[in-house]
Chains A and B, each alone.
Chain A
C-alpha cells in the first residue's frame, strides 16, 4: 500500500516536471522578448548567452519603446491589423457558418459537389494563388464614397475580402453541425421556424465551441498576414503589423526596439486569446448538449 502511494507520488511528480519543462520551453522566447525590450542593445547582446537574458536585471528602461514609436507609426499598424483582423473574423464566422449550415442541413442540387470543391481548396497553398489573386484584386471594381473605382490595391478591403470565406472554416462548421442532434433541427422546423430562425435561435447558440475555435484560427492567420499585404499595400496608412516589422530591419538593426515592437504587437493577440478562452469555457458549460 505504502509502495503504491510512493509510486503514485513519483509518477505525479514526473508528470508535472515534464509539463513544467514543456511550459518553460514555450514561455522562454516570450520572456526573452519582453525582458530584452527593456534593455539597451549592448546589454541585450551580452546577456543573450546566459540566463540573464530571461531576467529583469541590469539597465532597464522604456527607451526602446519610445524609440520604436519614433521609428515607425506603430499605432497605425496595430490599428490596421486589429481592424482587418476583427472585421475578417466577424464576417468569416458569419459567412462560413451559414455555408456550413447550408451544407449540413439543407437539401439542394449540387450540394455534395460544391462541398467537395471547397474541401479540395484546403490542399492548395496560398502562395500558388497569390499572383492570380493579385491580378484579380488589382482589377476588381468597387463602389464607395468616390463612386465606381477600379482596383482594390492599397485599401482595407483588399486585405479583408479574399480571406472571409475559406475551406477550413467552412469544413469546421459543417463537421460540428453534423454532430448536433438532428432532431433539434427537425423539432424547430415542425414548430414553424424558418431556416434563418433555426440558424440564429438553435444552431448558433449551440455552436460556442466551434465559433471560438474558428475565431482563434482565423485571428491568428489574419493577424500574422505578411506576404499578401506586402504585395497589395504600398501605402503606410494601410500597412499591418507584420509588414511594419520591416521598419526595424533597415540600416542599423536595433534589437531592443525590435523586441519592444514585438512585445507591443503581441498584446492584442494575448488579449483576444484570453477573452475567447473565457467565452469558450462559458459556452461549453452553458449549452449542456449532453444529457
Chain B
C-alpha cells in the first residue's frame, strides 16, 4: 500500500510562504505529475514528500503512516534527481547497489537485483563503468536503476529529463512510462514540460504560487480547465484569450461579442459571468478554422509559419488583439490577407475577466 495524502501542507522559510496549504490524494500505483511554472513550489512539494524539506504545517501520509517527522530513509521512497546525483567515485554497479549496500544486503542479493535492474533499463554493458564515462542518458538510467533496485513503494522524479536533449528526452519519457506499467508503483513526477505531464500522467496537479490550481486527468484539464491559468498553461501553442463583452445571460449560456467577434452563445461553466460585464473567451489554436465561410472572428494574417505537417498562423484581429491558429496541415495564407475564423462554441471557454 502506498497511497499518499497531503493535507493542508505548508512550507515557509521565515516570512516567505512557498507552499500555502496543499491538499492532494494520490492513489496506490498512480502516476501523478506536478506541473507549473518556475517557482510555483512543485519541487519543494516533492522534496517535502521525500523528507528533504521540513513540513511547516499540515500532514503527509504515505501508506497508512503519517511521515511528517520521519527521515527520508524511513519513508519508503526513492528519488531521481535532475542532476542524476550518481556518485562519481563508484562504478555503475556500486551506484545501483548503493541502497542495498546501506541496508546490509548480501552480495548474492545485490548481484541479482542489480542484474535485474540493468536488464529492465538495458544497461548490462555499463555496469563496470564510471559515471564520467557515461553519456547524459546513460547517467539518467543509472539514477533510475538505483531507484528501482530497492523496490520502493513510491518513486519521486524531480525534473529527471530536463538535462537531456530533445530526442533523448522523448525516448526516456517513453521508458519511464513503460517502467510505470511494469512496476505498478506509485510515482510522483515534477516537470515544467507540459508534454511530459500530458503523456505520462494518470493525474496532473497544476501548481502556481504554492497553491493547487487544479487536479485531474490530462484530458480533464485540457478540455475542462478550471481557470485561465490552467487553460493557458496546458496545450501548445497555448490557448488564446480574448476580452469580450457579455451582452446577455440566459440560463446556462451567455452571448458574448467584441469588435472582432460576432455575437456568439457560449455555455457558462464558471462563475462570475454577468450580463453587461466583461469576460475572457478562451480559444485553443487547434480549434480555430480559417476556412469557415461563416467565420465569427475577423482579422488579418500577420505571420504564417509553415512546418510541413503543420501551419501556425498569427492573426491580428480587428480589435487589435493577436491570436494564434494552428492547422494540422500545410497551408499558405499570405501576410496581410483578410481572414475569418470559425470555431465550435462548445470548444470555447468563458472565464470571468
Contacts and interface: CB of A to CB of B under 8 A. Distances in A.
A193 B102 contact: yes
A191 B52 contact: no
A191 B88 contact: no
B88 A289 contact: yes
Interface stretch (B77-85, B188-196, B267-275, B293-301): B77-85
B131 interface: yes
- Which among A181, A183, A187, A190 has the greatest number of chain B C-beta atoms within 10 A? A190
B78 A287 contact: no
Interface in B48-107: 50-52, 71-73, 77-79, 81-83, 85-89, 98-99, 102-103
Interface in A175-194: 181, 183-184, 186-194
Nearest to B47: A186
A195 to B, nearest CB: 10
Contact of B131 (A189, A194, A288): A288
Contacts of B278: none
A191 B99 contact: yes
Contact of B98 (A183, A191, A287, A290): A191
A187 B88 contact: no
A114 B102 CA distance: 31
A27 to B, nearest CB: 37
B208 interface: no
Contact of A287 (B50, B51, B79, B88): B88
Contacts of B51: 189-190
Contacts, number: 71
A215 interface: no
B226 to A, nearest CB: 33
A206 interface: yes
Nearest to B149: A191
B110 interface: no
A291 B83 contact: no
B150 interface: yes
B89 A206 contact: yes
> Taking each of B82, B87, B130, which has the highest tally of chain A beta carbons within 10 Å of its own beta carbon?
B87
Interface residues of B, number: 27
A187 B72 CA distance: 10
A47 to B, nearest CB: 52
A166 B88 CA distance: 30
B146 interface: yes
A202 B87 contact: yes
A184 B85 contact: yes
A187 B73 CA distance: 10
Contacts of B131: 288, 291
B89 to A, nearest CB: 4
A140 to B, nearest CB: 39
Contacts of A7: none
Interface in B125-153: 130-132, 146, 150
A184 B50 CA distance: 14
A91 B78 CA distance: 36
Contacts of B79: 186-187, 190
Nearest to A187: B85
A189 B98 CA distance: 11
B102 A191 contact: yes
A288 B130 contact: yes
Given A189-B72, A190-B78, A184 B102 contact: no
Given A183-B81, A187-B79, A288-B130, A192 B88 contact: no
Given A181-B83, A183-B83, A288-B130, A190 B50 contact: yes
A193 B73 CA distance: 7
Nearest to B73: A192
Contact of A186 (B85, B89, B99, B132): B85
11 contacts: A186-B50, A187-B146, A188-B87, A190-B52, A191-B78, A191-B146, A192-B99, A192-B150, A194-B73, A286-B89, A288-B88
**Ranked 10 nearest A-B pairs via Cβ:** A288-B132, A192-B73, A187-B85, A183-B85, A191-B99, A205-B89, A190-B72, A190-B79, A183-B81, A192-B102
